[in-house]
Chain A
Amino acid sequence: MSATGEALVEFDGVSVVFEGQVRALDDVTLAIRKGEIVGLVGESGSGKSTLCRILVGLTPPSSGTVNVGGLPVHRQLAQDPLAFRRRAQMLLQDAVASLSPRMTIGRALEEPIAIHKLPRGQTLEQLASILRRLGLPQDVMAKFPHQISGGQARRVGVARALLMRPEIVVADEPTAGLDVSVQGELLNLLLDLQQEFGLTYLLVSHNLNVIRRVTGRTAVMYLGQIVEAAATRDLFAAPAHPYTAALLSTNPAVDPRKRHKPIVLQGEIPSAVNPPTGCRFHTRCPVAQARCASEPPALVEIEAGRQVRCHFPFSLLKSGSDA
């Protein structure tokens, strides 16, 4: 994971408002360096998918700017949309549903070659080598999506994305629905390809074990905001935001010696139409104080490489270890 200092992706104060009232993203600032694997965690409705869609240019931000490679996404899309689409590729969560049932795998893989007017002979050679690299048999090309396994469909999705020689790959729940016995295989593949092609990943996952093992840095989202971003090792060792602490504590360990009592939050994630005043998490926060209900905290850097949106960082961690 050799991340260089150069930022490939920069979100700066990005907000998205749907239908004038649903604040799906609120003031998101996040940088992804070249060669880095950044994990994105949060529950449904936290804005993870909206953030991914903005990065690949499928949803325009309502305010704020998103740069990829130093240039605003909206300008790249206006000038040369196909070039930008090649640059930022997405692995969709439902790999089977993202393949047309009426097209053979071969046609689905060759279609982008025509759309992007890539040199056909050369690209088909690359495709054959990518398929070999992914362990997909050549005869998969003649099959229809219903004739291949879920794991194969996922690898077809990876092949389709890599063929465009992307700089950044957004992977939305790449292991969801995969059995544990094959999840390691897919993650190894993504890691190997990262080395081989110098890729940068934004990896969204519900699986905290996957995030911990694979990513270098992690951003935690709650109700449209980034509440904490830090080096993955630091985040798991000592979460600063009470929501991060609660979320990480819900991950039951198999080994009883490593098991700890989960922090059980009250209630569920509130509606983005009418988010709580002050800190958006204060309605469920076990250590909220009066100030949290009135004054919204800003995302501030509390130590090198760690940003937190909380008036009282590390307070849940402290109260938890006292109890």
Chain B
Amino acid sequence: MMPLVSIRQLTLEAATTRGAAHILRGIDLDIGRRRIVGVVGESGSGKSSLAACLVRLLPANLSRIDGEIVFDGTDLLGLSEAAMNAYRGTRIAMIFQDPMTALNPLFTIGTHLVDVLRRRHPGLARKVATARAIAMLRRVGIADASLRFSSYPHQLSGGMRQRVLIAMALLVEPDLLLADEPTTALDATVEAQIVALLEELRHGFAGSIVFISHQLGLVAQLCDDLCVMYGGTVVETGPVADVLGAPRHPYTRALLACELDDDAAGGHLVSIPGDVPDPVSAHVACVFAPRCPHATNACRSSVPALRDAGPGRRAACMRMEELG
């Protein structure tokens, strides 16, 4: 089956006073139908920019965008602004990171929900929309749903607001749902509630989800596929258990080693020496080479291709066969 989204050689550059910043350096990624793809990477790896490209909400200082994002047969990058807008909030929806600022303080929860529903289904009667919205509030675990329907955002806690954002996204029934760190702003026990909710809801959801996170443990628990990003490139992709069980790229391996979830107490903690790549630097070598313990001269002088690394897996390392 054709993937829902095929991203090919997606390149994004922004003009800065120091020259062009390479935000995405030729991304290749497929998002399968009904799959949850976890995108992990550190700050500056390009994971949020990738999500922004998928809805084409891009920064104003953009100097270059290249490649293609084929969504169900249509290249989103080739669409006019009006044609792209027809996708937003209908076939593509997004859950933002900060539930405190993603809702308009002047409108009730009900107005938010009915608005997205009537955008998706323009002919829908207000009464029907209201009933559906209240049913959805119940489904995402909001007690007193009909009461909360008339509440304003400030009357809700952070966890409830995040539930409202999830309800808005689900009402749209999008083909592609983008979730950018949807639990980062929440406390641990509330985060556990939202993760449990997402796990429960995924069974009734027919679309694909891109789940952006910096928490490997969360991605391991929730996602089907994993995409590891570094310095504006994809370094490794594949089924989440396979990639985390036997990573093929040295960066993925290093990232796993930095996780502190082993029981070994004491001793020195692992870190990756060096700094993340400067986005202004030219893309002429493996982006991870300056911090990679296995880098050779070849790694420092040519760009490794993202190539097959096992069933359903790809990795961008020239030495993956030697390194095992």
Contacts and interface: CB of A to CB of B under 8 A. Distances in A.
B321 interface: no
B221 interface: yes
B265 A233 contact: yes
A264 B193 contact: yes
A87 to B, nearest CB: 28
Interface string A245-268: 011011111111011001111001
Instruction: Report the interface size class on chain B.
Output: 35 or more
30 contacts: A43-B187, A43-B189, A44-B187, A149-B275, A179-B43, A179-B276, A180-B214, A181-B258, A183-B271, A185-B269, A188-B268, A209-B261, A212-B260, A212-B265, A213-B265, A233-B265, A246-B189, A246-B192, A252-B218, A254-B217, A254-B244, A255-B244, A262-B192, A262-B195, A262-B196, A264-B196, A265-B189, A265-B193, A268-B187, A268-B190
A114 interface: no
Contacts of A124: none
Nearest to B222: A252
Interface string A153-180: 0000000000000000000000000011
Given A180-B258, A184-B258, A209-B259, A250 B271 contact: no
- Most B CB contacts (10 A, CB to CB) among A187, A210, A213, A252 go to A252
Nearest to A206: B188
A262 B200 CA distance: 14
If over half of B's interface residues share one DSSP class (helix, strand or loop), that class is named, otherwise mixed; here it is helix
A268 B157 contact: yes
B255 A258 contact: no
Interface of B: 42-43, 157-160, 187-193, 195-196, 214-218, 220-221, 241, 244, 254-256, 258-261, 265, 268-273, 275-276
Contact of A180 (B191, B218, B255, B265): B255
A269 interface: yes
B233 to A, nearest CB: 16
Instruction: Report the interface size class on chain A.
Output: 35 or more
B159 A188 contact: no
A179 B215 contact: no
A276 to B, nearest CB: 15
Given A247-B188, A262-B195, A184 B270 contact: yes
